[in-house]
Amino acid sequence: MPEPLLPPLAVGGLVHHRAGVDALEAFRFPDEAEALAAAGQRFGGALLLQTCNRVELLVPGTGPELETFLSDSGRSGFSLAEGSEAVRHLLEVACGIDSMIMGEDQILGQLRGALVLSREAGVLSPLLEECVNTAVHLGVEARQRTEINRGAVSIGSAAVQLAEDLLGSLGGRHILVIGSGEMGMLVTQALAARELTAIYVANRTHGRAIELARKIGGKAVHLDELRRYLILSDVVISCTSAPHPVLKVEELKEVMKGRCWPLEGEPRPLILIDIAQPRDVEEGAERVAGIHLCTIDSLRLISEQNMETRRGEADRVRALIDEELGRCVRLLNRKAADAPLASLHTWAERVRERERDRALKRLGQADSHTLEVVDDLSRVLAGRLLADATLAVRRAAEAGRLDEADRLVGAITGLSPPVPPSEPLSDEIMTPTGDDACIPKSA
């Protein structure tokens, strides 16, 4: 067990382990900037990680405080971790062992994206930045030192595998991909390895659809042509970032009419795989005749198969996390010593300046060189005298004993609580007399 984490840190939210797609969608923060601003105002910092299978908020606060905030925002059923367990959870997320598809690499980019979003919102505290950067660094290292991501599939490629499982083979099929962001790119890359008759790519920004289609030898289509290509396709994989459904029930009913052969009453089946969050396919589409709808929940079997093949590598990654956790907690705890050390050095600087000025006064008229030598001497002496004390305070904080760090500072300065930076020292703290004229009474 690592030492207790001194600075308050908590993470709370909903992940695929505990919730299906409906619960995740209801739990999401539709306006991320607004959510970050509210959390930042409450906690002095916030980081929001929202992917297709997790919604989590990381704050420099306590578990009960975060629980109150999430409850006040209308959320329920979430899990919480605080202190060193919050750090452990973040490391597990970055290393890919908490992902639906174990070992997937996309979470590293998603963490970096959350970091950027938090910084742009002005709510990225130093503690959160340190935690996320440490987690991302370990995530990269874990993938280099283990085979946790060897042959790993992403959510996007898992969706392609699901389509292949449902159809037996994708050979000779027509596939439509809606969305050309990171997930769309992963989907089309996985599709490009199959012997398809055609890959169509649609996106709100047509230029991006053209760029992605060119990379994989597909065809870019305009959104206003969507109905035609829905009729042509065997599988549709939708993964946009739209805040509302892009495939609506009434439109899909018309599409299915167009998929009927002249002499048959039933439409040709259409597989819709919706891996967007929030969902791209309107609720109720699964009841339209001929449509087979799959969501993130449908990928769980693939996830379980993937987890089974990587169980041994996951154990190796957990060993790395155990090693890193203690180091990370100690590093964060060191920062908790900044406040008492600032007080110590503020006190020492005032003492130094006072005694320097008294010495210079005794010298009488001194030239600039003498003034500089005396000032440098007093500064070096103060630094040397405080070196061991500073190290002791840091070590006490690293071990989670901030009260001991405070007592050390108090013992040196004779002040309890430590002197604020703006408060002057009284003559009672240090009164030079005789041979001890330059030694603090409290020393």
How many Å apart are CA 307 and CA 314, to the nearest integer?
9
Q: 429 with 350: CB under 8 angstroms? A: no
Radius of gyration of the chain (CA): 30
How far is residue 320's CA from residue 414's CA, in Å, rounded to a whole number? 44
What's the CA gap between 386 and 239, in Å, rounded?
58
Burial (Cβ within 10 Å: 0-12, 13-18, ≥19) of residue 128:
buried
Amino acid at 419: V
Residue 427 is encoded by which pair of tokens? 């003559």
- Cα separation, 251 vs 228, in Å, equals 11
Closest C-alpha among 96, 88, 95, 69 to residue 13: 69
Active site residues: 52
Q: In whole angstroms, what is the distance from residue 193 CA to residue 5 CA?
A: 47
CA–CA dist 309, 318 (Å, integer): 16
Compute the distance between CA of residue 321 and CA of residue 311 in angstroms, rounded to an integer.
15
Q: Is the peptide bond before 60 cis (omega within 30 degrees of 0)?
A: no
Residue 214 CB contacts under 8 Å (≥ 6 apart), including other chains: 220
Q: Cα–Cα distance between 124 and 117 in angstroms, integer?
A: 9
Residues 123, 131: Cα–Cα separation, whole Å: 14
Helices 206-216 and 182-192: angle between axes, nearest 10 degrees:
30
- 220 to each of 70, 151, 192, 216, 226, how far by Cα in Å? 42, 29, 14, 11, 11
User: Distance (Å, rounded) from C-alpha 238 to C-alpha 159?
Assistant: 10
